[in-house]
Amino acid sequence: MSDKEEDKERCPECGGMLIVEENKLRCEKCGLILEEDYLNRKPDWRAFSSEERDKKKRSGPPVSVTKHDKGLSTEIGSYGISGEDFSPEKRRYLSRLRRLHSQSRRLSGKERSLSVGFQELHRISTQLSLSKSVHEFASVIYKVASDKNLIKGRSIESIAAAALYIACRYYNVPRTLDEFKEVARVSKKKIARAERFLVKNLDVSLEPTSPVDYIPRFVSKVGLGKDVEDLSNEIAEKAMEEGVLSGRSPVSIAVASIYIAARRKEVKMTQRELSEVSGVSVVTIRKRFHEIEEILGS
């Protein structure tokens, strides 16, 4: 079936246009779901004339900035090689061919470093469930840093984690350095140092993070309600307005604000529970708690 014929498909109930949304084929007009886990075979681009269609037509996956070669190289897959369709000699030959082909795509040390770095970006972003836009922005940061020889002599893991942390801050995605430390296989100190290094040398403009950005996630993690979240936001904003907590970690202010809000709402919540979900030590939470209470009391 051609693309034009597919576009003419209509809902059998109301005659509305069929659209694909979240892997489901449904009617745009009445909402009837005709098929779940729908495989959309249409191209990922749109064309409004035959010339534009011919210009955009291509084979293979789309270009991606999250791959060191932008996904344009040929892949020799391993599917079927281990099966019974090939003799042992043929399987060994194909495995060797695949290995040599993989090595030929990364001849220089810089390309090998870039490939490893992009694999690390993919691993960390997957474990932290980061969005595609964050992953792509971090990939661009890493590529620019590589082109400017900023990665040489530094840990690939720390630069990759720092690039993703910068991308999270750029898109206002609340992720803490402690969360990156858990999956990046490097210390929090190294990630923070690499983040400052990249921001300085790449001239990246970032807005300072606010405690309010972290409150919804932590409230959700410990299972508190919307009333506690709203009061936590008010407390954190009041603390920041007073300016007394200037220079303090926004994460610690957010956690302390949640603890105070839970106490005022008479909801059982311990500093230890908040420490486990946020990575902020109990001692720091207690200090921020007393400081904010003093501000609110005055």
d(CA 95, CA 76): 9
Confidence (pLDDT) at 120:
92
> Among residues 196, 201, 120, 202, which one has the least CA distance to residue 161?
120
Identity of the residue numbered 34 = L
Give the residue ranges of the annotated binding site for Zn(2+).
11, 14, 27, 30
Identity of the residue numbered 42 = K
3-state class of 18 per DSSP? Answer: strand
Tokens describing residue 52:
């534009």
3-state class of 286 per DSSP? Answer: helix
Q: pLDDT tens per residue, the chain (298 residues)?
A: 444 444 446 788 787 878 777 667 888 777 778 777 666 666 666 667 777 766 666 555 566 666 655 655 566 666 555 556 667 788 788 888 877 776 665 556 677 788 888 889 999 999 998 888 899 999 999 999 988 988 888 889 999 999 999 999 998 888 888 889 889 889 989 999 999 999 999 988 888 888 888 999 899 989 998 999 999 999 999 888 887 677 788 899 999 999 999 999 999 899 999 999 888 999 999 999 999 988 887 5
Which stretches of 148-225 are DSSP H helices? Answer: 156-170, 177-184, 188-202, 211-221
Confidence (pLDDT) at 4:
43
**Overall size of the chain counted in residues:** 298
**Cα angle 155, 157, 161; round to 5:** 120
- Which strands sit side by side in the sheet containing 24-27, from one edge to the other? 18-21, 24-27, 33-36
- DSSP for residue 207: P
- DSSP for residue 17: B
State residue 294 phi and psi, 5-degree precision: -65, -40
Which stretches of 23-155 are DSSP H helices? Answer: 50-56, 88-104, 109-127, 132-147
d(CA 244, CA 258): 18
3-state class of 19 per DSSP? Answer: strand
Contact 69, 80 (CB under 8 A): no
Confidence (pLDDT) at 157:
92
Give the residue ranges of the annotated binding site.
11, 14, 27, 30
Confidence (pLDDT) at 54:
65
Full-model pTM:
0.66
Domains contained in the chain, CATH given: 1-59 (2.20.25), 66-105 (no CATH), 109-202 (1.10.472.10), 211-297 (1.10.472.10)
Contact 168, 200 (CB under 8 A): no
State the DSSP H helix or E strand holding residue 233, giving kind and residue range, or none if neither: helix 226-242
Confidence (pLDDT) at 7:
44
Question: 244: how many CB neighbours lie within 10 A of its CB?
Answer: 14
d(CA 138, CA 126): 13
Confidence (pLDDT) at 258:
94
| Residue indicated by tokens 């993703």 | 164
